Amino acid sequence: MITADLHIHTFHSHDSTIRPATLVEQLHAHPYIKAVAITDHDTVEGLEPTRKLASVYSDILIIPGVEISTPQGDLLVLGAEEMPSNPCTVEDVVDFAKENDCVSVVAHPYREYGLGDLARNLDVDAIEILNGVSSLAANRRARELAKTMKLPGVAGTDAHNPEELWTVCTEIESSLCLDEILGALKKGSVSIASI
């Protein structure tokens, strides 16, 4: 089993101050969280520099990803190495994730920029049921949504500054291997934890 944070913004997101070097150093130093997904807003620019910094350590893994803003709300695409070529509706993003063997996750459904009940109509892979900066009530509603949709629930800090890192995590029945992690997420071999 591995423990991961599936929602992190580096300073390649316009509203984040997290330097990739800080993230990588802290990930290497953390006692048990050993994988993080880089999910910057509408860009994968942070991925390569972060992966390069992480490559000197054998005990950590950077999961590629992106948080795509759609007119309906935000969706995380885990495993994504690139952005869809055109501006997207949320349905287009779900299709993009499927075509690229990625995992689609409804981010903070009941917060600002969340998809809310619209998520019920989508063929997504998972729901973010524990978001590190959402209210208890918003996370509770997200948990109920995952339950009704019979979908796996995952956790991510949604950290935009170093103080918000390492507060929640997802335990995944997998080794530190990207394909295995994405497969386990789709299967729902996951549980969430607060730190």
**Which residues of this protein are in contact with Zn ion, per CB under 5 A?**
67, 158
The residue at minimum Cβ distance from Zn ion is: 158
Beta-bridge partner residues of 73: 70
| Minimum distance of Zn ion from residue 191's CB (angstroms) | 21
| Minimum distance of Zn ion from residue 158's CB (angstroms) | 4
Question: How far are the Cα atoms of 35, 57, 124, 165 from residue 23, in angstroms, in the given order?
Answer: 11, 13, 28, 9
| Minimum distance of Zn ion from residue 43's CB (angstroms) | 12
Task: Considering the complex, state which of residue 57 and residue 113 has its C-beta at the smaller distance from Zn ion.
Answer: 113
Task: Considering the complex, state which of residue 67 and residue 164 has its C-beta at the smaller distance from Zn ion.
Answer: 67
Asked if 50 and 38 touch (Cβ cutoff 8 Å), the reply is yes
| Minimum distance of Zn ion from residue 116's CB (angstroms) | 16
Closest CA to 126 of 75, 92, 53, 177: 75
Distance of CA 129 to the CA centre of its chain: 11
**Backbone φ and ψ of 65, nearest 5°:** 180, 180
Which residue do the tokens 């103080």 mark?
A: 163
